Structure 1
Amino acid sequence: MKIVIIGAGEIGYDLASMLSNEKHDVVVLDRDKDALKKVSDNLDVLYFEGNATSAKDLVDAGVKDADILIAVTSIDEVNMIASMMSKRLGAEKVIARVRSDELSRPNAPLKSTDLGIDVLIHPEQSAALEIVRLIKRASASDLINLADGQMQMIGLRIGKASPLVGKTLVEYAEEFPEITFRVVAISRKGMTIIPSGSVRIQAYDQLFLLAKTDVIPEVIKTTGKPDVEISRIMIAGGTPIGAMIARILSEEDKNWNIKLIEPDHDTAVELAQELKDVLVLNGNPTDPDLLATEGITDTDAFISVTEDEESNIISCLMAKHLEVKKTVALVSKPDYIPLSQTIGLDAAINKKSAASNEIHRHVRGGRVISVKALQGIKAEVIELQAAPKSKVVKKPIRNIRFPEGCVVGGILSNGSSEIATGQSRIKANDRVIIFCLPEAVDNVTSLFK
């Protein structure tokens, strides 16, 4: 496919790298020479210096013949104008990143399709929802809903006192025959392992487990971790993400005690007027005296989502030092994610990866229902639908030659879900959850066509 990416920032660069590795014809358009130099030095793609709101520059970049146009600059208005012009110039499918929720509100006077946008990506909303899920499942470092919410994949850090240390995955499963779950990936000392049953669990491993949503609390207990109850929450930063988290949490459970700290006075006043069930404070969220005065030592969860990722990390480390049960930091540099738990954070969220995941799913299309990259680990979760004449139907999973670096986790068939075993059979139109290394994604996807 021919894909034009407008914006050579972090999301644009990551997408260009990913899509060029998948052998698509990629063109990157940006007016920033330094950003384009990074693209030209490191990626095998075409690049073009130009203005995304100029019809001439869009034509020169090839949008007339583009199968997909992806607008991911840092400015909403540029993305919207570029999308509208590109659609009229002939781009077949238009995907745009828009931070504001103006176009996605139920009563919005303008819809995204009015601007030529086929798929609207809202990374702030994706990140906020992910943080809310982590707060609800406080023991997990990662949590992904799959199979229409019937299954969840959680990441759990194994402490040195865990009863699982030294056991193989087979021994782990045999010890809890009444619980159906599967370990689908392990992060160990910066390495990603798609495990076999003989792999032994080590202290400080991060296990990624798949199970039905209703048994997740039991799975968590098997690792020696209690599923922590959360009732008092402190949010640092009245950013769009911080406000969205506060809004969602206060609407879902009126019994939660929620405090939000925002350094800008005017923003704090606006949020206080909007969020009636949230105590909004005007102050510096990295000020230890303020945090102590506002009772951080009695707080169950501390979420830092300011625009300064270093402040987010420092605030969360301070909270962890004061024995807060759950800390979540928003970071923009992907390199910080694998380090987050090493230095003591419970979870780190990258809103750009949420946007990349959503865009990548629409680019892949076909039988792909969802694609999600796991934070801090080189593996992807793919939900695929089996075509009636594909190579995977009507035979036991153990007889299917999946690419190396893949493991089948679960199957959603006729509305009911099950954890996959070697004896499981995939039927036409079943949805199958697969965990695999990035280099195996294309090969495993082709099996379902």
Structure 2
Amino acid sequence: MKIVIIGAGEIGYDLASVLSQEKHDVTVLDRDPECLDNVSENLDVLVCEGNATSAKDLVSAGVKDADILIAVTSIDEVNMIASMMSKRLGAEKVIARVRSDELSRPNAPLKPTDLGIDVIIHPELSAAYEIVRLIKRASANDLITLADGKMQMIGLRIGKQSPLVGKTLHEYAHENPDITFRVVAISRKGLTIIPNGKVSIQALDHIFILAKTKTIPEVVKTTGKPDIEISRVMIAGGTAIGAMIARILSKEEKDWNIKLIEPDFEIAQELAKEFKDVLVLNGNPTDPDLLATEGITDTDAFISVTDDEESNIISCLMAKHLEVTKTVALVSKSDYIPLSQTIGLDAAINKKSAASNEIHRHVRGGRVISVTALQGIKAEVIELQAAPKSKVTKNPISKLNLPEGCVIGGILSNGSSYIATGESQIQAKDRVIIFCLPEAIDKVTSLFK
């Protein structure tokens, strides 16, 4: 496919990297020559220097013949104008990153389609919901909801005292016959393993387990981790994400005790006017005295989502030192994510990944229902629908000759979900959850067509 990406920032670069590896014809348009130099030096894509709101520059970038145009600059207005002009110039499908939720509100005077946008992406909102899910499941380092909420994949760090240390996956499953689950990936010392039953679990492994949503608490218990109930939350940063997290939690029926710390007085004042059930504080979230005064030692979860990722990491480390049960930091550099748990953080969230996952699903299209890149591990979770007479419907899973580096984890069939085994038979229109390394994605996707 011919794909034009507007914006050579972090999200644009990440998308260009992945899409070029998948052999798409990618062009990146940006007005910053330094950003374009970085793209051209490291990626096999075309670059075009120009203004995203100029029809002439958009034509030069090839939007007339584009199968997909992706507008991901840091400015909402530029993305919206570029989308509208590109659609009129002939771009077949337009995806735009828009931070504001103005266009997606029910009573909005303008709809995304009025601006030529087919798909609108809210990375901040995606990140906020991801953080909320992690807070609700205190023991998890990663949590992904799949199959319309019927299944979840949970990422857990195996402690040195865990009863699973030294056991093979066969032994793990045999000792828990009443729970249906599957270990689908392991991150070990920076290496990604798509395991079979003979692989042994080691201390400090980061394991990813797929199970039905209702059985996740039982699965967590098998690892030796307590599934702690969280109700007292402290949020550092009144940013868009921080405000969204407070908004989401305060609207729930559960009685959350929420404190939000914002260093800017005017922003803190505005947030205090909006939230009735949230205590908004004006101060520096990296100030140990302020954190101690406001009762961080009695807090269950500490979330740092300021615009300064170093401050987020430092404040979370302070919180962890003060024995806060759960800490979550927002980071912008994806390289920090695999290091986060090594240095003591429970979880790190990257909003760039949230946006890239959503956009990637629309780029792949076809039978692809969802695509999610796992944080800190070189594997992806793909949800695919089996086409009638496709190769995956011909034989049981054990005889499908799946490409190396992938495993089928779960199946959603006629509204029922179950964990896949070698004897499972995929039927037409079934939704199948697959875990695989990036190099195996195209091969496994072709089996579902």
Query: TM-score scaled to structure 1, two decimals?
Result: 1.00
CA deviations on 1:317-342 (whole Å, 9 max, x unpaired) are: 00000000000000000000000000
One-letter code aligned to 1:157: R
Aligned to 1:402: 402
Rounded to whole Å, the distance in 2 between the matches of 1:189 and 1:23 is: 30
Give the Cα–Cα distance (whole angstroms) in 2 for the partners of residues 212 and 414 of structure 1. 16
SS at match of 2:251: helix
1:205 alignment partner in structure 2: 205
> Secondary structure at 2:56's aligned position in 1?
helix
How many Å separate the matches in 1 of 2:190 and 2:107?
46
Alignment of 1:100-249 (within 5 A): 100-249=100-249
Distance in 2 separating the partners of 1:200 and 1:27: 44
Which residue number corresponds to residue 292 of structure 1?
292
Task: Name the CA distance, whole Å, in 2 between partners of 1:334 and 1:354.
Answer: 11
Matched, 1:255 2:273: no
Q: Distance in 1 between matches of 2:395 and 2:389?
A: 12
Alignment partners' CA distance in 2, 1:185 and 1:355: 23
Question: Could you tell me which residue of structure 2 aligns to residue 96 of structure 1?
Answer: 96
Distance in 2 (alpha carbons) for counterparts of 1:324 and 1:107:
41
CA RMSD of aligned residues (A): 0.5
Give the Cα separation in 1 of the matches to 2:48 and 2:255. 53
CA-CA distance at 1:254 after TM superposition = 4.5
In the alignment, structure 1 residue 435 sits paired with structure 2 residue 435: yes
Superposed CA deviations along residues 240-262 of structure 1, whole A, max 9, x for unmatched, are: 00000001011114411000000
Instruction: Sort the Cα spacing of 1:306 and 1:250 in 2 relative to 1 into closer, same or farther, 3 A.
Output: same
User: Alignment partner of 1:273: what SS?
Assistant: helix
Q: Deviations over 1:222-275 (max 9, x none)?
A: 000000110100000000000000010111144110000000011001101111
The equivalent residue for 2:71 is: 71
Provide the rounded CA distance (Å) in 2 between the counterparts of 1:289 and 1:296: 10
| 1:155 counterpart letter in structure 2 | G
In the alignment, residue 57 of structure 1 is paired with which amino acid?
D
Alpha-carbon separation, structure 2, partners of 1:176 and 1:107: 50
* Secondary structure of the structure 2 residue equivalent to 1:184: strand
**Structure 1 position 14, deviation (Å):** 0.7
- Mapped to 1, the partners of 2:355 and 2:140 lie a distance apart of 22
Displaced runs of 4+ in structure 1, greater than 4 A?
none
Deviations 1:48-101 (A, max 9, x none): 000000000000110000000000001100000000000000000000000011
Give the SS at the match of 1:361. helix
Counterpart-to-counterpart distance in 1, 2:331 and 2:414: 39
Total equivalences in the alignment: 449
Q: Is the 8 A contact 1:29 1:50 kept in 2?
A: yes
Partner Cα distance (1:356, 1:230) in 2: 30
Structure 1 residue 150, shift from structure 2 partner: 0.1
How far apart, CA to CA, are the structure 2 residues paired with 1:391 and 1:68?
28
Unmatched tracts of structure 1, length 5 or more: none
Partner SS, residue 171 of structure 1: helix
User: Shift of the alpha carbon at 1:395?
Assistant: 1.8
What is the aligned partner in structure 1 of residue 4 from structure 2?
Answer: 4
Task: Tell me the residue number matched to 2:426.
Answer: 426
- SS state of the match for residue 290, structure 1? helix
Q: CA deviation at 1:394?
A: 4.0
Letter in 2 for 1:384: L
Counterpart amino acid of residue 98 in structure 2: V
Secondary structure of the corresponding residue to residue 444 of structure 2: helix
User: How far apart, CA to CA, are the structure 2 residues paired with 1:163 and 1:240?
Assistant: 41
